A and B are shown apart, each in its own frame.
Chain A
Amino acid sequence: MVAKKEKSKRSKNVEEEEVDYAAVADQFADLSDQDSVEEEDDDDDDENDESSSRNSADSNDEIENSGSDDDEEDSQDHDDSEGDEENDDGEEDDIVRKMTTNSFAGTEPCSFDMHNLLAINSHQMDTSKMYIKKAGKYNDEEDITIPPESLDVAVNEKYLLEKAASGCTQLIAALWQLPIESSDIGPMVSLPIHDGSKIPRQLPPPPPKKETKWEKFAKLRGISLNKEKRSQKVFDEATGEWMYRHGYRKANDDTKEWPIMEVKGNDDPYADPWEKQREEKRSRKDKNMESRMRNEERAGNLVKGTTNKLLKNREKARMAGKAGGDLDRYNVPPSGVPVDLRPTKGSGDIKSMKRGKASITNALLATQRSTASLGNFDKMLEGEPERKKNHVGAKKRKYEGSTDKTVISTEAERAMKVFKHVVDGGGAQKEKARLKGHLAKGETAYDYEFNDGLGPSTFQKKKGRAAAGKMKKMTKKRIK
C-alpha cells in the first residue's frame, strides 16, 4: 500500500514518461562491475547480491535468503571495517542483526536527531574504498556545471550510495518507531519537540510583556484589574441587545451628541453642552494617548523621549492655531517697512526677513520728507534722528492752476502725448520691448531680434584641426 501511494504521487512529478525500474537497476549493476577496484572477485557475489537486491525494483516480490548468507560470510580477503566487525563479534552480531528488522541497515549504527531528521554516522570513512585515483584527466565528467579539474581523486559513487542507503534505512526505521497517528492525508509521525542539534534561533525570544504603571500599582496594593472582573458585552437599554462594552457603537453610549442635552445637577444651564462634551472627549483622548505612549516607552517599544516630544509639538501646534493670524503680527514685519533681504550666517541661500538698518534709515528719510512742506514744520518724535538736508533730491511739485497761461498752452500737448502713448503704444519703450522679444507672436527669428550668440568675435574662418591654429614653439621670448 505504501508503494502504490508513492507511485501515484511520483508519476505527477516525473516528466511524462514512466521510469523503467529495471533499467535503473541495470545502471547500478553495471557500475558495480566497473568501479569496484578494491574488491576481490570472491566477494563480488555477496556484495552484488545485496546491492542489487536493494536497488532493483523487483525487491517487492523477491524473498531474499541472503540474510542467512550474511551471517556465514567470513572472508579473510575483506580488508574493510565491516569484515573485521563480523569476525570479532560472531554471536553478538547475530543478535544485533535480528534486532534490526532488516540487514539493509548495515553494520554501522548511527545516532539520530529525529527533530531534524538527522542521522550521524560517526564511524571512520575508509578512504581506500571511497576514492579512486585518477589516471590522467577524468574525461567522463567534463560537461557538468563545475567539472572536477582540481580534484586528484574521483569519488566512488557506489560506495557512497551504499553507505547512504544503510544510514537511510536506519533513519526510516527510527522514524517508524516514533508515535504515528493516521490522518486523512496519511500516516503522520510526531517528531520530538526538542532539538537535538541545538540550532540557534533567528531572533531572540520576545521579551515578556511589561506591566503598565497601573498594573504594577494594582498588583502592589492587591487591587484586581477591571479586565478580570468585567465582561466583554453589556446589555444596551436603548437597542435592547447585548453590545460591546467599549469601542465603536458601544452599549449605553452617553458621549454621543444628542440634539437635546439634559442639564444635570450642578451644571451651568447657560453653558454650551455640546462644546463641553467635545472638550471632554478631546481631553480623554489626549490623556489616553499619553498614558499609552508612556507605558510603551517604559516597556521599550518606543524610543525614549518620543512622548514628551510629541506632546510639546502638539502644544505648539495648538497654540499656533489659537493665535492664528496673530502670529503673523509678531513674526512678520509689516508691509510698507522695507525688509533687508540679506542672507545670514545660518540661513544660507534663504534671505532673512530681518529689518535691515540701511533700508530702514532710507525709508525713514523718505517718510520724513513726504509731507507738503517736505517735513520742515513737522514735530520731531522721541529718538528720531535729525533731518539733514531732507529736501535734497526732493522737488516740490509746482501748483498748476487752470487759469495759468503757461499751463493752458502746454496742457493740450502734454495730454496728447499721454493719449498717443496709450493709443499707439510705447514709442521708444515699445521699440525696446520688440527688440527684446516681448511682443513676439510667433517663434521665428524674424519676429524679434534673436541673439544667437554669433558675432564678429565668434566667427571662425578655418574649421577643424586647422581652427586650432599653428603650434608655435614656446621659446623663452614668447613665454615672457
Chain B
Amino acid sequence: MAPTEQQRKASRTKELSGSKKVPNARVQRYLKSTESKLKEDGKNTLLLKGIKASEAMSRVLQELRALQAPRVKLLNKKNQIVPFEDQQSLEFLSTKNDCALFAVASHNKKRPNNLVIGRTFDHQVLDMAELGILRFKSSLRDYGGQVFKKRIGTKPLLMFQGDLWQQYSTIDYPNLQNLLTDFYRGQVVDKILATGIDHMIVFTIAPAQGTVLIHQRTYHIQLKKNPKDLSSKVPVPLLQPCGPDFDFVLRRTMWADSDLAKAARRQPAELRKKKTEKNKNKTTTIFGETMGRLHLEKQNVEKMGGRKNKALRRAEKAAADQESMAVESELDREKEEMGREFQREFGFAEQD
C-alpha cells in the first residue's frame, strides 16, 4: 500500500517530532521503493475488472498477468469504474498499489470484450486507449501443452509492423505504439543475458473490413546456429506461435496534452544524453597536473608589433641618434670636400 503524498508528509512529521511509532526496517525499505527514483525500474501493472466482466475477459486478464508476472497485480472484484468518464478511483487504486500501468476489462452490449489500457504519471492518468478484442487465443488454455511457453519474468522482443504505426493524422498511432511498448517491455535493464531471450511479441497493423485492425501475436524463440553461415556466432531464431494472440480494434483514446506529455518524458539532468568530450589536447601527468596544448598557426614575428618599454625606447633612441650623427658627419664631410673643390677651381672659398 504505497502512501499518498499527504500520508507521506504526515508520517515524516511523526518521525521528526520524535514519535516512537516508526515502522520497522522492512516497511521503511518498501516505502523508500515507492518514492521517486533518479533512474526508474520497470512499471508495475494493475489489472482490474470494470462494472461487468465476462468470463472471457477474466481470462484475458489472467493471460496478461501470466505475461507480465511478477510485476503485475490482478484484482478480483468488479469495480464501478468507467475509465473514460472518471479517473479518480483509477488514480487512487494505482497509487495505492504502486502500479503505473493499468488495464480495465469489461463487457457490455455496446462495447463487447473491452480492454482499456493506460498509464499514469505522478499519480495522474496520462494516456488511455480502449481496445475491442475481436479474437483472443489464450496461451494458457487454447494452445495446448505441447507448445513451449515463455518463462516468468523474461523480457520480450517487440516488433511493430505496418506503415500505419507512423501515421498520426486521424488517430495517434505512434502514441499507441509507445503505450503498447511501455505496457509489454517489462523490466528496464542495462544488460541482458543473450541466451535468455525466449519470446517475441509482434504488433501488426493493417486496414481491413472498413476499419484498422491490430494483430498481436506472441512467438516462442529458440536460437539456432545459422545453417547458411556456420562460422558466424550470430544465431538465427526459430519462431513458434505460443500465444496469447489478440486481434483488436481501437475504439476510444485519451492522450495527455502536450505539456503533461513533455513533463512526463523529461529525464533528470544526470541521465540525459551527454555530448562526448573529445579532449585530445588535454593530458594529465602522473602528478595529477592537467596540461593543455594550444595549437596555433605560424606567426610572422618580424612583422608583428610588440610592446615597448623604457629600455627599448632608449636603445632605439640611441640607435637613431647614432644614425643621425653618422648621417650628419657624412654630410659635413661631403660639404667640406665640395668646398675644397670649389676653392681649387675658383680660387676663393665658397661663402653663403
Contact = CB atoms under 8 A, between A and B. Distances in A.
Q: Do A and B come from one complex?
A: yes
Interface of A: 2-3, 5-6, 9-10, 13-15, 17, 19, 24, 53-55, 57, 59-64, 66-67, 101-104, 110, 116-125, 127, 130-131, 141, 143-148, 150-153, 155, 157, 160-161, 163-165, 167-169, 171-173, 175-176, 180-181, 185-191, 193-194, 197-206, 285, 289, 292-293, 296, 301-303, 306, 310
A167 B159 contact: yes
Among the interface residues A66, A118, A302, which one has the most CB atoms of the partner chain B within 10 A? A118
Given A169-B236, A293-B13, 14 more contacts: A19-B146, A59-B238, A117-B197, A125-B206, A145-B141, A145-B142, A161-B239, A164-B161, A171-B157, A198-B178, A200-B264, A201-B121, A203-B37, A205-B268
Given A59-B227, A168-B237, A203-B122, A175 B13 contact: no
A57 B227 CA distance: 11
Contacts of B208: 127, 131, 152-153
A200 B126 contact: yes
Contact of A197 (B126, B178, B236): B178
B185 to A, nearest CB: 5
B193 A205 contact: no
Given A102-B226, A203-B36, A118 B193 contact: no
B94 to A, nearest CB: 10
Contacts of B340: none
A157 to B, nearest CB: 7
A302 B121 contact: no
A205 B38 contact: yes
Nearest to A5: B195
B156 interface: yes
27 contacts: A2-B235, A10-B148, A54-B236, A55-B238, A67-B228, A101-B234, A104-B228, A117-B156, A117-B158, A117-B192, A119-B158, A122-B165, A145-B60, A146-B113, A148-B135, A155-B215, A171-B157, A172-B157, A186-B193, A187-B193, A189-B191, A189-B193, A198-B265, A200-B182, A206-B37, A293-B17, A302-B13
A60 B136 contact: no
Interface stretch (B76-84, B217-225, B288-296, B307-315): B217-225
A79 B297 CA distance: 63
A161 to B, nearest CB: 6
Nearest to A120: B160
Contact of A63 (B195, B207, B230): B230
B13 A306 contact: yes
Nearest to A124: B163
B347 to A, nearest CB: 96
B135 A144 contact: yes
Contact of B194 (A131, A186, A205, A289): A186
B301 interface: no
B241 interface: yes
A130 B206 contact: yes
B209 A289 contact: no
A201 B265 contact: yes
Given A201-B265, A201-B267, A172 B223 contact: yes
A289 to B, nearest CB: 6
B253 interface: no
A164 B264 contact: no
B56 A122 contact: no
Contact residues of B: prevailing secondary structure: mixed
B13 A187 contact: no
Given A146-B133, A160-B202, A302 B12 contact: yes
Contact of B182 (A19, A175, A199, A293): A199
A147 B217 contact: no
Contacts of B106: none
Contacts of B38: 205-206
Contacts of B100: 202-203
Interface in B18-44: 18, 35-38, 40, 43
B234 A188 contact: no
Contacts of B138: 144-145
Nearest to B226: A102
B204 interface: yes
B190 interface: yes
B232 interface: yes
Given A19-B148, A127-B208, A289 B234 contact: no
Interface in B124-178: 126, 133-138, 141-142, 145-146, 148-149, 151, 155-163, 165-166, 177-178
Chain A contact residues: helix, strand, loop or mixed:
mixed
B304 interface: no
B159 A121 contact: yes
B9 A303 contact: yes
A2 B10 CA distance: 55
- Among A124, A131, A146, chain B packs the most CB atoms within 10 A around the CB of A146
A201 B165 contact: no
A153 B160 contact: no
A167 B201 CA distance: 11
**What are the 9 closest A-B residue pairs judged by CB atoms, nearest first?**
A202-B100, A200-B264, A146-B136, A205-B268, A203-B36, A148-B135, A125-B206, A176-B234, A119-B159
Given A6-B223, A17-B146, A145-B137, A194 B228 contact: no
Interface in B309-326: none
B97 interface: no
A173 B194 CA distance: 11
Contact of B163 (A67, A103, A125, A147): A125
Given A150-B134, A189-B194, A168 B157 contact: yes
A254 B229 CA distance: 79
Contacts of B223: 2-3, 6, 172
Contacts of B209: 151-153
Interface string B97-133: 0001000000000000100000111100010000001
Contact of A24 (B18, B121, B240): B240
A125 B159 contact: no
B48 interface: no
Contacts of A200: 119, 121, 126, 182, 261, 264-265
Contacts of B205: 125
A295 to B, nearest CB: 10
A146 B56 contact: yes
A3 B224 contact: yes
A125 B167 CA distance: 14
Contacts of B12: 296, 301-302
Interface string B178-194: 10011001000111111
